């Protein structure tokens, strides 16, 4: 953004606010990915696709429905799409190893990217924020919408957290994750649970996609970086660890934004990914040391 | 059952199809070299280069059980390193050796990081590492600072330009591919290769009988990267240049697609997939235009779901289906979990699930 050495405290603070925003958006998705993984060792490499398609649909429907309703409708459509993807590509390979699910969902993401280019073209769209105005913070203008979007993101993962801790469905989910065959034995339909969880995680990615349109641009490549960031958060948080995924999301977002503050140009990406990966050297089982190591 | 398979990697059951596959590729290559037009040779050379990257990935994925999403980056490292050396007047043999050296060092470090945790983390970390390599290549001034390398002179051996025609460049690529194939095939049968397969079949069991799991996974990653890098050398020689986009993530995904379509656990499946991809892309894009990617993705998903062994596995299935006992083998395969399936195996991890909060 600016030349190295010209990092002002104002710019740094601005980038940290950006980190908080992006971390809040990533966290909900990272949590849902880690839950899907914990329940059925399913890896959803198509999560970026749900995010991207929802962003496009939200832009398209905005004219008729208004921003917020369009976002909700887009997210609901992603729930349906997520359920279909799970039934068609995940359920048939339930007995195969987890890495097969990476391949299947990766294939889905190729198809979706092709469809998106077909339907919406390859151009970039930059919708306006639904809420105008900005707040002066540390000498920089931060748009009000940034705070709203970050708030919605935080509400998402807080909601998942509460669902997991306070409801009977959450108890069922945690139990089934800890011992799947025992859960089946006492009559829990883990297959349906999986479909539901996968669909919800697609829906969460959909909400985040709808929110992201005005923040970042909407284009056919937006799925890739998002996918990578979300999974980096899951991995450094420790696979299967919910609080790890939340903290991991903020770590990834902070490291990336700090790199942009101090390093000019695209090399910042390399530095930030390198730094994130190095966390694994110190904590191979995640930030809270509770992820899975084997297989 | 699985252990037996691990100890007989190229097995008593299928030496015929494997030898036949190899000879078929060789024969097709030679016939191509003498009958193909310049354009066909150009495409075939590219397919060989990509096929080498896919074969490397096959060793990592089909034989060691780890999926990498950064394979194209290693092809690019090979192409850029050797391209830089060719531009500075290096000879084919010295440039190749130096390039291999660079890749061994780099991939050993990156492999050590990627293998710290399990399979999913490996896929993500290799993806991130691929992005890092891409960004660096895209950034470095000596590698063209985003434009790439071009105008690379025809390769020299012992100070002489032996290879002038399109045909001779294709033959160079063919020779490199065959050397890699034979070397990796030998590795598969060697003790180190068998340890890798033991890890793939059951990581916990391998660990418990004393296999140093991470060490062999790093080895597999280095082998995979070196083979891809040699593919990169062929690529840069054939094209006279290379662009940074060759290292990008989509390219890594494509190599994975080629391997899955061609067939894992064969070593030649990657070449089949690469040829199909390169020729289909060049001859079918006119008729299918933008739908192309959709069909490719759909075929890929279908392969993963229905034919985990890819085309090579399908052919093998059809061939063994003609023999006796095929029905029995099929039923076992349907039942799931039988290690005959030339894809990836269920692991002990099946029983190791857990969410902690």
Contacting residues of B for A242, CB less than 8 Å apart: 355-357
- What's the mean pLDDT in B69-74? 93
Please identify which residue in the block is written with the tokens 């079949």: B201
Answer whether B150 touches A (CB < 8 Å).
no
With both helix axes pointing from N to C terminus, report the angle between A242-262 and A144-166 in degrees, rounded to the nearest 10: 160
pLDDT band at B197 (very low <50, low <70, confident <90, very high): confident
User: Of B117, B115, B111, which Cα lies nearest the Cα of B222?
Assistant: B111
For B147, residues 6+ apart whose C-beta sits below 8 A from its C-beta are B243
CB contact at 8 A, B262 and B144:
no
Which of A29, A286, A45 lies closest to B256, judged by CA? Answer: A45
Q: Using the 8-state DSSP alphabet, how is residue A271 labeled?
A: H
| pLDDT of B11 over the 60 cut | no
- The 10s digit of each residue's pLDDT in A207-255 is 999 998 888 888 888 888 888 888 888 888 888 888 888 998 998 899 8
Selected residues 193-232 of chain A with any CB under 8 Å from a CB in chain B: 224, 228, 231-232
Looking at the complex, report in whole angstroms how far the Cα of residue B30 sits from the nearest Cα belonging to chain A: 34
> Which residues 6+ apart lie within 8 Å of A113 measured at CB?
A49, A52, A220, A223, B293, B297
**How many Å lie between the alpha carbon of B195 and the closest alpha carbon of chain A?**
16
Using alpha carbons, select from B43, B237, B236, B53 the residue that is nearest to residue B130: B53
Query: A280 and B346 in contact by Cβ < 8 A?
Result: no
Q: What is the ipTM of this complex?
A: 0.85
- Given the structure tokens 């030998």, which residue do they identify? B186
> Using the beta-carbon criterion (under 8 Å), do B353 and A242 form an inter-chain contact?
no
Q: Is B289 left (phi over 0), alpha (psi -120 to 50) or beta?
A: left
Q: What is the least distance, in Å, from the CA of A13 to any CA of chain B?
A: 26
Tell me the residue ranges of DSSP E strands in chain A. 134-137, 140-143
**Chain B residues touching residue A171 (CB < 8 angstroms):** none
* Residue A123 pLDDT class (50, 70, 90 cuts): confident
d(CA B220, CA B56) in angstroms, rounded, equals 9
Interface list for A 27-66 with B (CB within 8 A): 34-35, 37-41, 43
Q: Which two tokens stand for residue B168?
A: 């001779």
For residue A294, which residues of chain B lie inside 8 Å, CB to CB?
118, 203-204, 348-349, 352
Burial of residue B187, with CB atoms counted within 10 A of its CB: 0-12 exposed, 13-18 middle, 19 or more buried: buried
Handedness of CA A19, A21, A25, A27 (dihedral sign): positive
CB proximity list for B95: less than 8 A, separation 6 or greater:
B82, B85, B86, B155, B233
Distance CA B51, CA B227 (A): 10
Contact B123, B67 (CB under 8 A): yes
- Subunit contact B131:A273, Cβ cutoff 8 A: yes
Cα separation, B348 vs B5, in Å, equals 16
Contacts of B65 in chain A (CB under 8 A): 97, 99
* Predicted pLDDT of residue B58: 92
Distance from CA of A211 to the nearest CA of B (A): 25
Q: Are B275 and B352 in contact (CB under 8 A)?
A: no
Compare CB distances from A242 to B203, B308, B355 and report the shortest one's residue: B355
Tokens of A165: 């801790």
Instruction: Please tell me the predicted confidence (pLDDT) of residue B290.
Output: 63
Q: Over 70: is that where the pLDDT of B17 sits?
A: no
pLDDT tens for each residue of A283-294:
777 777 766 643
In what helix (H) or strand (E) does residue B241 lie, and over which residues does it extend? Answer: strand B241-242
DSSP secondary structure code for residue A143 in this structure: E
At A164-180, the pLDDT tens digits run 888 888 888 887 877 77
B249 touches chain A (CB under 8 A): yes
| B113 touches A at CB < 8 Å | yes
The whole-chain average pLDDT of chain A stands at 84
Domains of chain A: 9-282 (1.10.3470)
Is the Cβ pair B138, A266 closer than 8 Å? yes
Instruction: Report H helices in chain B.
Output: 2-7, 15-35, 38-58, 71-87, 92-114, 119-139, 166-189, 191-201, 203-208, 213-239, 249-262, 269-288, 291-306, 310-322, 326-335
What proportion of chain B, given as a percentage, has pLDDT over 90?
A: 20
Beta bridge partners of A137: A140
For A66-109, the pLDDT digits (tens) are 889 999 999 999 999 999 999 999 888 887 877 788 889 999 99
Count CB pairs under 8 A between chains A and B: 201
Q: Kindly list the domain boundaries of chain B, sorted by start residue.
A: 2-288
Distance between CA atoms of A75 and A209, rounded to whole angstroms? 8
Higher pLDDT, B138 or A282: B138
Are A269 and B131 inside 8 Å of each other by CB? Answer: yes
The answer to whether residues B139 and A257 touch, using CB atoms and an 8 Å cutoff, is no
Dist. CA A163–CA A169, nearest whole Å? 7
Which residue of chain B is at minimal alpha-carbon distance from A271?
B132
Return the closest-CA partner of residue B268 out of B142, B194, B177, B356.
B177
pLDDT at A2: 43
**Which candidate in A108, A110, A188 is best for mutational testing of the B interface (most B CBs within 10 A)?**
A110
Contact A202, A78 (CB under 8 A): yes
Among B118, B277, B302, B348, pick the best mutation site for testing chain A contact (most A Cβ within 10 A).
B118
pLDDT of residue B233: 93
Q: Which CATH architecture has domain B2-288?
A: Orthogonal Bundle (1.10)
Crossing angle between the packed helical segments B310-322 and B15-35, to the nearest 10 degrees: 120
Is residue B236 within 8 Å of B50, Cβ to Cβ?
A: no
Copy the structure tokens of residue A234. 């899951």
Tell me the percentage of chain A whose pLDDT exceeds 70: 95
> Quick check: A295 and B136 CB within 8 A?
no
Mean confidence (pLDDT) of chain B:
78
Chain B stretch 184-223, residues whose beta carbon is closer than 8 A to a beta carbon of chain A: 203-204
Taking the C-alpha atoms of residue B6 and residue B211, their distance in angstroms, rounded to an integer, is: 13
């Amino acid at each position: 953004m600016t030349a190295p050495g010209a990092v002002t405290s104002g710019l740094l603070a601005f980038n940290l606010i950006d980190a908080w925003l992006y971390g809040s958006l990533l966290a909900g998705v990272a949590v849902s990915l880690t839950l899907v993984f914990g329940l059925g060792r399913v890896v959803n490499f198509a999560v970026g696709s749900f995010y991207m398609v929802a962003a496009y649909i939200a832009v398209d429907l905005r004219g008729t429905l208004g921003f917020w309703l369009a976002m909700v409708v887009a997210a609901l459509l992603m729930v349906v799409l997520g359920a279909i993807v799970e039934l068609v590509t995940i359920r048939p390979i339930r007995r195969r190893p987890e890495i097969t699910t990476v391949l299947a969902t990766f294939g889905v993401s190729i198809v979706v990217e092709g469809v998106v280019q077909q339907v919406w073209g390859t151009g970039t769209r930059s919708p306006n924020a639904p809420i105008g105005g900005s707040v002066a913070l540390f000498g920089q203008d931060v748009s009000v919408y940034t705070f709203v979007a970050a708030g919605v993101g935080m509400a998402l993962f807080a909601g998942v957290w509460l669902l997991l801790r306070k409801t009977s469905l959450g108890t069922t989910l945690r139990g089934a994750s800890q011992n799947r065959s025992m859960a089946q034995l006492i009559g829990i339909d883990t297959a349906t649970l999986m479909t539901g969880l996968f669909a919800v995680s697609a829906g969460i990615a959909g909400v985040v996609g709808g929110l992201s349109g005005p923040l970042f641009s909407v284009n056919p490549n937006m799925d890739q970086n998002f996918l990578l960031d979300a999974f980096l958060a899951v991995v450094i948080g420790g696979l299967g660890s919910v609080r790890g995924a939340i903290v991991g999301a903020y770590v990834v977002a902070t490291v990336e934004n700090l790199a942009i503050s101090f390093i000019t140009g695209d090399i910042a990406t390399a530095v930030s990914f390198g730094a994130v990966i190095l966390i694994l050297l110190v904590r191979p089982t995640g930030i809270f040391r509770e992820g899975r190591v084997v297989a | 059952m699985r252990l037996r398979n691990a100890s007989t990697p190229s097995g008593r059951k299928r030496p015929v199809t494997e030898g036949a596959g190899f000879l078929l590729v060789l024969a097709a290559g030679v016939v191509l070299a003498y009958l193909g037009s310049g354009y066909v040779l150009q495409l075939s050379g590219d397919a060989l280069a990509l096929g080498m990257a896919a074969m490397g990935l096959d060793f990592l994925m089909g034989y060691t059980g780890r999926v990498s999403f950064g394979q194209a980056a290693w092809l690019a490292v090979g192409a850029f390193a050797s391209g830089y050396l060719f531009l500075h007047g290096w000879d084919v043999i010295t440039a190749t050796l130096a390039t291999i050296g660079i890749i061994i060092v780099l991939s050993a470090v990156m492999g050590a990081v990627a293998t710290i945790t399990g399979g999913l983390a490996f896929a993500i970390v290799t993806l991130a590492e691929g992005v890092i390599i891409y960004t660096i290549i895209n950034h470095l001034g000596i590698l063209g600072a985003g434009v790439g390398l071009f105008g690379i002179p025809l390769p020299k051996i012992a100070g002489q330009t032996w290879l002038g025609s399109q045909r001779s460049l294709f033959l160079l690529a063919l020779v490199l591919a065959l050397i890699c194939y034979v070397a990796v095939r030998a590795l598969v049968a060697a003790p180190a290769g068998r340890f890798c397969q033991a890890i793939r079949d059951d990581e916990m069991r391998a660990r418990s009988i004393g296999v140093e799991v991470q060490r062999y996974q790093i080895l597999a990653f280095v082998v995979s990267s070196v083979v891809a890098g040699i593919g990169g050398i062929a690529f840069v020689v054939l094209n006279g240049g290379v662009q940074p986009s060759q290292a990008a993530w989509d390219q890594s995904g494509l190599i994975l697609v080629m391997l899955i379509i061609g067939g894992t656990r064969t070593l030649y499946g990657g070449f089949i997939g690469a040829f199909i991809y390169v020729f289909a892309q060049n001859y079918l894009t006119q008729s299918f235009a933008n739908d192309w990617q959709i069909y490719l993705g759909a075929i890929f998903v279908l392969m993963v779901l229905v034919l985990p062994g890819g085309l090579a596995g399908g052919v093998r299935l059809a061939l063994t289906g003609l023999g006796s006992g095929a029905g029995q083998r099929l039923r076992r395969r349907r039942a799931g979990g039988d290690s005959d399936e030339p894809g990836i195996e269920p692991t002990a991890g099946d029983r190791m699930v857990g969410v902690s909060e």
